[in-house]
Structure 1
Amino acid sequence: MIEIAYYIAGKAKQILGGTLSVNQYKDYVLALLFLKSASEYYKSNDSFQSDENKPFLRLLVSERSSFDYLYKELGSLELGKLINVALYELEQANSRVIEGYEINRAINFESNILGDTDERLSKLRELLHFFQKLTLTDDAGKLIDIGALYNLLLYIFAEEAGKKINNVLTPKEVIGLVAELIGDNKDNNSLCDPVSGSGTLLVEVGKRVGIRGANIFGQEANWNQYALTKMNLMLNGFKDSTFFWGDSLSNPKLTDDGGLKRFDIVASIPPFADKWATEEAEFDRYGRFQYGIPPRSQATWAYISHILASLKPNGRAVVVVPAGVLFRTSESKIRHQIIEHNLLETVIELPQNLFYGAAISTAILVFRKDRKTTQTLFMDARKGYISNKGIYKLSDTMVEQLLNTYKGFLSGEQVWQENSCPAYIATQEEVRNNKYDWQTVKYVEEKIERVEVDVEATLQRIEKLEKRLEFVNEQLEYCTQQLIRLTNRK
């Protein structure tokens, strides 16, 4: 699987990387992978099937939307148009399943960014030829998990970009941590991400926690990202998910009887550098800003306010945010209200530079509506990273320690004293005394590594060094006297 993903990414760079950025050409590659996969799955069984156990639902593939048809038309001067039509017809033929995907609207194979007519045709022909030869089966001849391949490609493209894709992809270690913090799906829970990006967080959390497609909801403002998320959900088997295009702050689509739809779980990574229109809060009919109105220059708290308003009375949320959210003076009144309403369960400060395209410090906030205690757990993971060629990753050891600490906190056992990251349980009064500053350094004492010292051996070594020093001083004194005598003779 990994080999196939790197092979596809390498070929994409070879064909398109000369004139397009990774952020541009990845959309074309993923769309062709979608077409290729749909055709391969359809050919594997002539009848239309809906199999909940398959990672990818078989779609009805008409002749003109099949990959084989496109390959036969390789010499056509309207090849870009034919690919656009294939995507459109694939969606139309399967409107019951993928209504509203409109991938061809987001990704245009006739676009001039691919070059002039001759250059565009050359690139498209080379891409189609590559995908025609690409095998999507394993050694046993079974079709591989296309959803997993899709997400692998997203990671590889982000790494290839050299951290130039702004806020596109969440590191898989952080996604895994978010999923584990959410816990098990015991009660047929609903999951939402109101700012989904490419959908990787929704997909991975849905898989790990075990949430059915019908219980997955989301919204995304960027059209291209919206299309990628729809493909991502589809390729990973979440065919019944509910997903909308639009800005969650100015135009929330996940509503119910005039109010916001409520969810058991919200997992989200709001855009790190967004501004927002604060005047919207004055006329907000969803009651989202009861804890205060965030400043215009910082939209993160606006998204958090939306998330908290979207939780059921017993709901919980895990949100990844810039670390400035923890301490900025302009947002202190909101933090004040969150603490006094007993909504903050956990703060985790993460190592710097974990996110591709965002060289900033980040943190994870865990909120819970029906808390049984007024205490808050603060965990400091800033030193828990590994670095390879300038890419920082949260270490597996730190992830394990964070989860041990968190689970101990929930169960009332102070296990972090044995096997955990630096942590502290703060009372509401302690947070008040820190003026509602949530930085972990305000609460967590840095662990000092204790080293066993052989006292007797150390004293013996000191004695030897002192004798050596005495000898050196004697030699120095002798040399000094000799130098004085020589000087006097002159």
Structure 2
Amino acid sequence: MSALNQKLFSAADNLRSKMDASEYKNYLLGLIFYKYLSDKLLEKVVVSADASLEEYDTQKKQTELYIELMSDDEIKDDLIETLVDTLGYDIAPEYLFNVLADHAQQNIFQLNDLNKAFVELASKYEQFNGLFDDVDLTSKKLGSDDQQRNITITEVLKKLAYVDLVGYGGDVIGDAYEFLISQFASEAGKKAGEFYTPHQVSDMMAQIVALGQENKKLFSIFDPTMGSGSLMLNVRNYLNYPDSVKYHGQELNTTTFNLAKMNLILHGVDNEDMRLRNGDTLNKDWPTDEPYTFDSVLMNPPYSAKWSADDTFLDDSRFNRYGKLAPKTKADFAFLLHGFYHLKDSGTMAIVLPHGILFRGAAEGVIRKKLLEDGSIDAVIGLPGNMFFGTSIPTTVVILKKNRETRDVLFIDASKDFIKGKNQNKLSTEHIDRIVETYKKRETVEKYAYVASFDEIKENDFNLNIPRYVDTFEEEEEIDLATIGSELKMAREKKAELEASLFEMIFSLQYDEENEKWIQGALEVFKNEK
């Protein structure tokens, strides 16, 4: 368990008995986010003062410097202006996370001070509006009265105080979220994975959608079911100009929408580079103004969700080319077509869906046929089962492109390549590399990949079920009946020898009247078996 996860697990102890894991994750993620903003500000203060981080190597020293600078009226306004220009926000010294945590250590912390800190940040700066709404400091689940709630948050602050977030070498919110929803899944037994794509799957999808577009100086990403936002953020790791990426995302769940916004801010994405919306992706198209098409579209929508499938959607430009609407009880193709509509002609889309979309008939069969006739489906990648939190079903990643020169489809069966985990299976770096390299080469690989022509797919009645194209059947070794017969004969002979030996032993035993009945019974059993 990493140091971050250890601290989270320890902090969760103070909340675990009071509320469901699906609720306490909101408190922990909100506090981690606020701590990150606070810690980042202190480092910026040191740099802005032309001081050395080696000299100001503790938060206590950094805070003392900040208080000193803020007490000088000639410096104060310039410092705040610098912080807002570079970070996009400022925090008063008395509301710094480490100051509040220090009060917690001294048991003089006041819950109202943390509440004021949240309110001030959210009211002063638009990008933080609503981000702390799920950290409900008045909830009776924290305690029956103010004093009890104060004690609960005091203990949580103590646990989080020493987590190094600024120096954390990774996706802080993503890693924390993955750990917390694993607790959520195991403790609460609820569907936990609908807002998060495991980072190995996310990494594989990011590499594929970036292929051939690495040198674009302006790059746009769209995730209409963005969850925690990690799918979008992963793409920039494979671009040569990662600082010039524009992020566009939509999320129905307000709590998760806020989480995605936190995640992008934590990754240094400027407010003007993110265009996020809290809304229903299928019910009403968005975005409808420029830009409404993007270099890459990535999606991990809720599987086989319900939607209205109202007839009016047949006139919707997202769906009207495909003859039918996705069924009311399975919105999978509705999500796919929505994302595909917003893809640039030169772009690449990757979407995670259940295998049913590959072979189900009726309306889904009509939509799939049209996509294949248009050459829109570029590749189908079968993943192992039990990869996602909250569901054990195997999934598939479908890659789509516009204006392809061919209508063939690359099938990759990666379902057998995984590291078995206690709760979830995982892909190794080697597994991911194999998928991406196979996708690049676009060649048939025995028992792993197959390039199917359009005519072949047509002959299969537009069924894309992977086993129809990739034969992973392993022939069992031929059974040598003569050898088995010989071994069976030897086993019987050995058994007879042992039985005879055991009969002799029982027969030769000395026994009294008390055990006579038992011994005679045992001998009778042996005689009958003979």
- The answer to whether TM tops 0.5 is yes
Q: Corresponding residue for 2:181? A: 158
Q: 2:90 aligns with which of 48, 55, 60?
A: 60
SS at match of 1:206: helix
| Matching residue of 1:354 | 387
Match of 1:368 in 2: 401
Written as runs of structure 1 = structure 2, the 5 A alignment for 1:46-445 is 46=45, 47=79, 48-49=82-83, 57=87, 59-63=89-93, 65-68=95-98, 70-71=100-101, 79=111, 81-95=112-126, 98=127, 101-117=129-145, 118-131=147-160, 133-136=161-164, 143-145=166-168, 148-162=171-185, 164=190, 165-184=192-211, 185-187=214-216, 188-209=218-239, 211-212=242-243, 214-239=245-270, 240-256=273-289, 261-279=292-310, 281-282=312-313, 285-291=316-322, 292-330=324-362, 331-409=364-442, 414=443, 416=445, 422-445=448-471
Q: Runs of 5+ in structure 1 lacking a partner?
A: 138-142, 454-458, 477-490
Structure 1 residues 45, 312: CA separation in 2 closer, same or farther (over 3 Å shift)?
Answer: closer
Cα drift, residue 135 of structure 1: 4.3
Range with greater deviation from structure 2 (289-298 or 145-154): 145-154
Identical amino acids, percent of aligned pairs: 26
Aligned pair in 2 of structure 1 residues 392, 367: CA closer, same or farther (>3 Å)?
A: same
- Which range moves more in the overlay, 8-17 or 189-198? 8-17
Q: CA deviation at 1:179?
A: 1.3
Q: CA deviation at 1:66?
A: 2.3
Query: Kindly tell me: are residues 120 and 405 of structure 1, through their superposed partners in 2, closer, same or farther at Cα, counting changes over 3 Å?
Result: same
Conserved? CA contact 2:134–2:255, under 8 Å: yes
Paired residues in the alignment total: 446
One-letter identity of the residue aligned with 1:422: Y
| Residue equivalent to 2:31 | 32
Please, what TM-score do these two structures have when normalized by structure 1?
0.81
Report the AA paired with residue 229 of structure 2.
G
* Letter of the 2:294 counterpart: F
Q: Which runs of 4+ in 1 moved over 4 A?
A: 49-52, 71-78, 462-470
Unaligned runs of 5+ in 2: 46-78, 497-530
Name the TM-score, length of structure 2 as normaliser.
0.75
CA displacement at 1:323 relative to structure 2:
1.2
CA contact (8 A) 2:246 2:274 kept: yes
Shift of residue 136, structure 1, vs aligned partner? 1.7
| Structure 1 residues 464 and 242: alpha-carbon distance in aligned structure 2, compared to 1, 3 A threshold | closer
- What amino acid is aligned across from residue 44 of structure 2 in structure 1? N
Counterpart secondary structure, 2:367: helix
| C-alpha separation in 2, matches of 1:320 and 1:153 | 22
Q: 1:127 to 1:433 in 2, by over 3 A?
A: same
Alpha-carbon distance in 1 for matches of 2:384, 2:488: 46
Whole-Å separation in 2 of the counterparts to 1:289 and 1:17? 49
8 Å CA contact 1:294–1:302 kept in 2: the answer is yes
Q: Comparing 157-166 with 347-356, which one deviates more in the overlay? A: 157-166
- What residue is the counterpart of 2:48 in the other structure? none
Change (3 A) 1:378 1:104: same
Give the root-mean-square deviation of aligned CA atoms: 3.4
Please say if residues 379 and 398 of structure 2, whose CA atoms lie closer than 8 Å, have aligned partners that are also in contact. Answer: yes
Distance 2:432 2:306 in 1: 31
Q: Name the CA distance, whole Å, in 2 between partners of 1:398 and 1:281.
A: 44
Deviates most, 339-348 or 7-16: 7-16
CA 1:65 to 1:274, structure 2 compared with 1: closer, same or farther past 3 Å?
Answer: farther
Tell me: CA distance 1:20–1:403, structure 2 relative to 1, closer, same or farther (3 Å): same
Give the secondary-structure state (helix, strand or coil) at the position aligned to 1:114: coil
Distance 1:173 1:416, change over 3 A: same
- Letter matched to residue 142 of structure 2: L
